[in-house]
Amino acid sequence: RIESVRGRRVWDSRGRPTVEAEVRLAGGALGRAIAPAGASTGSGEAVDRRDGGAAFGGLDVTGAVAAVSGEIAAAIRWLDAADQQTVDERMIVVDGTANKARLGGNAIVATSMAVLHAAAAAAGQPLWRHLAGDRPVRVPLPEIQIFGGGAHAARRVDVQDFMVMCPGAGSFGEALDWTAEIYRAAGLAMKQAGTLQGVADEGGFWPAFASNEAALEALVAAIADAGFRAPDEVAISLDIAASEFGRGGAYRLALDDRALDTAGMIDLVGGWIEAYPILSVEDPVAEDDAAGFAAFTARYGGRCQVIGDDFLVTNAARVADAAAAGAATAVLLKPNQAGTVTETKAALDAGKAAGFGTIVSARSGETEDVTIAHLAVGWDAGQFKVGSFSRSERMAKWNEMLRIEEALGSAASFAGRAALGFRP
């Protein structure tokens, strides 16, 4: 049973305040978790509670922290931590808003994940095992950013994430080995070209490119330089994050000051799929463009995974609607988009029921918290997206997954190519 709940202000990878929750059970078990924060957020997401005012650009979270120690603690005290759904529903009811704005999505998600950790600790099990029980689980296929972009790099290029996936790797560990070589090759090439300018928000190289296509060419070259065949061994994955530069069927690309309608946007991204070894695309059109998603999926969903992030916002009902409309083939799962562990799991279950690929994902604002690595394995999501291959808020998650793969030992099966949300 939950005995005490405490909030604390800590700091995220952008140096901004965020919420940590600590949950102690009557038997002494402790759970702790930290809320992440997005930069390219979908409008349907749970909303973080920020103080406003002058301090830290208005981003302080003293109200959300007080909500954890106050209203939330009072609401969930003495509930059974192993009954995650009851705990989460209680917080939703007490909050009373549709988007968790009153108590704060940040306050609620940190508490929800801390309760989950406390329940696993009470059971004496690692979180992934506590979630999986006796069911077989896979170690997920990672999507790893090489170049940042979009809102994470001052819109230097339009595309937000230029990533690699290693469907040809034999294990998660090997996928990291390969990615390390590609990341290194990409950095070396930029250094030699004199364009190396540090890294973007998620640790990918700063996109000092004259066009989106130039970044794609550089990624293809890095994969080849590192000695891998594309797309069988290593493929490209893109997060277009098109909601950042499009709405109402009108898109404005910053790089070449080009205006496109939905059909133009589909042709642009589709052209990249034709020209480059791309096996996954996220948010190719904006969150309000369901017809665009359906048209894109009808055209390319048989050869490329189509992921909804801002479009589906980790919402089970939206996932079911998208499946019925043929408007995606995969769903990104971010616990703080939904706001609770229970709702995140519901979105994952809806994705699986639809035959979608399911990808557990970090945010651009992250911390040392590694909860999502455990969710990805314990829920058998099959795919895992954490950002790039530098900065410890990213590496902490990759490294935690290595530990889990080791703990699984001979029972570890790597999700690999089969985890992708399309059947060629």
Cite the active site residues. Answer: 202, 334
∠ CA(36), CA(37), CA(40), 5° rounding? 140
Give dist(CA 351, CA 360) in Å, integer. 12
Report the nearest approach of ligand PGA to the CB of residue 361 (Å): 6
CA distance 165 to 260: 29
Does 295 interact with ligand PGA (rule: CB under 6 A)? Answer: no
Q: Among residues 112 and 237, whose Cβ is nearest to ligand PGA?
A: 237
CB proximity list for 133: less than 8 A, separation 6 or greater: none
Site string for Zn ion, 249-288 (x = CB under 5 A): ---------------------------------x------
Q: Which element (helix H / strand E) includes 148?
A: strand 141-148
Q: Which option in Zn ion, ligand PGA, none does residue 364 bind, with CB closer than 5 to 8 A by kind?
A: ligand PGA
- Comparing CB distances to ligand PGA, the nearer of 228 and 384 is 384
Question: Using CB distances below 5 to 8 A depending on partner kind, what does residue 363 bind out of ligand PGA, Zn ion, none?
Answer: ligand PGA
Contact 322, 293 (CB under 8 A): yes
Whose Cβ is closer to Zn ion: residue 65's or residue 281's? 281
Within residues 354-383, the interface with ligand PGA by CB under 6 A covers 361, 363-364
392 among annotated binding-site residues: no
Q: Which residue is nearest to Zn ion (CB)?
A: 309
Binding pattern to ligand PGA, positions 33-72, x when CB under 6 A? -----xxxx-------------------------------
Question: Site mask, ligand PGA, residues 218-257, x = CB under 6 A?
Answer: ---------------------x-x----------------
Q: What are phi and psi of 385, to 5 degrees?
A: -125, 120
Catalogue the long-range contacts made by 268-273 (C-beta closer than 8 Å, 24 or more residues apart). 269/238, 269/240, 269/296, 270/296, 270/299, 270/300, 272/212, 272/213, 272/216, 272/238, 273/300, 273/303, 273/304
366 binds Zn ion (CB under 5 A): no
- Enumerate residues 6+ apart whose C-beta is below 8 A from 193: none
Q: Does 402 bind ligand PGA (CB under 6 A)?
A: no
My answer on whether omega of the bond before 207 falls inside 30° of 0, hence cis, is no
Q: Which is nearer to ligand PGA, 31 or 149 (CB)?
A: 149
The single residue among 239, 343, 393, 405 that binds Zn ion, judged by CB under 5 A, is 239
CA geometry: angle at 408 spanning 167 and 34, to 5°? 85
Interface residues with Zn ion (CB under 5 A) are 239, 241, 282, 309
